[in-house]
Every structure is written in structure tokens, then in C-alpha cells.
């Protein structure tokens, strides 16, 4: 047996073990090779892309597009709390307009580009989510870091700073994030819209991720006063 055959056998065995523990659809190299060179492959939410499929996609310049799972939304129109400091004010106003088509929006301020302190508004957004008045929360400041720190001090909140669609998906699928923070000085308006849409419509993966989120919340409970 050649070295390549041995590697292929080990990879297949590892994939089989993964499937038995957490069954998901598999996309293999045959599916990639069936597409015209330079084409697009839509990868269903939760699907496993084999290493050979990834290699084939690179070699044949196939664009891989991940499809988000339908959002587990409340039966009624969901409520989203949004806030920003002066650095995120303009982006907040743009996102608020976009969100109002599909969500009830609670605007936690600020209401102008005058200088303010981001902790005040990050706290307001986080409290809306922690109290259950809002399904999710979005907070924008210059870098998104400080607001994430503030929001995560509120019990029940899992805030995630996201800067692209991959981190938006990961924060929802793996961490069940309920508050999104954005850095207006780091991303443009188009990317911000893509991140928000992806984040709001990506389901939590559950399974092993649920066990890990439970451990996150256990740490919070341990140190809560």
C-alpha cells in the first residue's frame, strides 16, 4: 500500500468516526470535480467538506459558498436591540434601517455623533437581551472590543466581536452568542450588513457545542456574586 493510500485510509477512518458521533452530509472530491473549473459549490449548513474535496476546489478554482441554516426565531417578529457610541453612530443608523424590515428594533442610543462612553450603551443593549426583552443584541463602537468586554459582564450574555462572515457563523454555531459587537473603524458598511444578516440567521449547532456553552455558563455562575 502506498503512502498516499495509507493517508487516504486514515482520513476516511477519521471521517467515519466523526460521522458516527455527529452525522452530517459529506461533500467529497467527486462532487467538486463534477463542477466546471472556476464554478461555485454551495455547501449546505453543517456539511463536512473532505480534505480531498478542499484540495480539488483549490486546484480547480471552485468557489465554496457556505449556506446558513434557517434561523430558530420566535414565532412572532423577533426583537433586536442595537446601540452604539459616537464612533459607531452612523453604522448603527444604517443597520437599524436594514433591520426594521424583518425585526422589531430597540434603539438603545446614542442619538448623535457627539462623544459618549461606549460602556453605557453596551450595557443597555446587554440588559435588553439578558432580561428577555430582546432576542438578540448588536453593539457598535470604534473597534468592538470594549463593548464586548462590557456586555460579557452581564449575566446571561455571550457577546462576540465579529469581523467577517466566518466569525459570525462560528460565534452562533459554536458559542450561541446572543450579542454581536462590531468595530466601525475596522469594517465597512457592506461587510457590516453581511455580518449582521449572517449572524442573525445562523442557528446554534447544539450537540457537543451545547456541552461547551454549558461550561461557559457554569464559569459565570461560579463567579457571580
Question: Catalytic amino acids?
Answer: 174
Residues 138/168, Cβ–Cβ less than 8 Å: no
At residue 41, φ and ψ (nearest 5 deg) are -115, 120
- Widest CA span in the chain: 70
Residues 6+ apart with CB under 8 A from 69: 45, 46, 202, 203
Residues 24/43, Cβ–Cβ less than 8 Å: no
At residue 123, φ and ψ (nearest 5 deg) are -65, -40
Question: CA-CA distance, 135 to 144, in Å (whole number)?
Answer: 20
Question: CA-CA distance, 197 to 80, in Å (whole number)?
Answer: 12
Amino acid at each position: 500500500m502506498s503512502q498516499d493510500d495509507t493517508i487516504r485510509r486514515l482520513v476516511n477512518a477519521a471521517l467515519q468516526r466523526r460521522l458516527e458521533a455527529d452525522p452530517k452530509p459529506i461533500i467529497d472530491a467527486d462532487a467538486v470535480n463534477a463542477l466546471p473549473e472556476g464554478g461555485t459549490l454551495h455547501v449546505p449548513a453543517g456539511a463536512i467538506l473532505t480534505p480531498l474535496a478542499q484540495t480539488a476546489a483549490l486546484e480547480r478554482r471552485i468557489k465554496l459558498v457556505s449556506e446558513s441554516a434557517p434561523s430558530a426565531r420566535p414565532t412572532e417578529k423577533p426583537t433586536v436591540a442595537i446601540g452604539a457610541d459616537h464612533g459607531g453612530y452612523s453604522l448603527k443608523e444604517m443597520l437599524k434601517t436594514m433591520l426594521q424590515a424583518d425585526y422589531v428594533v430597540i434603539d438603545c442610543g446614542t442619538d448623535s455623533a457627539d462623544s459618549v462612553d461606549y460602556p453605557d450603551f453596551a450595557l443597555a443593549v446587554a440588559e435588553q437581551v439578558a432580561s428577555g426583552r430582546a432576542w438578540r443584541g448588536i453593539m457598535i463602537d470604534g473597534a468592538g472590543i470594549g463593548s464586548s468586554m462590557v456586555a460579557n459582564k452581564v449575566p446571561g450574555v455571550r457577546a462576540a466581536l465579529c469581523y467577517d462572515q466566518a466569525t459570525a457563523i462560528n460565534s452562533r454555531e459554536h458559542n450561541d452568542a446572543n450579542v454581536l459587537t462590531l468595530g466601525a473603524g475596522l469594517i465597512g458598511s457592506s461587510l457590516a450588513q453581511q455580518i449582521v444578516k449572517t449572524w442573525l440567521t445562523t442557528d446554534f449547532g447544539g450537540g457537543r457545542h451545547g456541552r461547551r456553552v454549558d461550561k461557559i455558563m457554569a464559569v459565570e455562575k461560579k463567579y457571580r456574586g
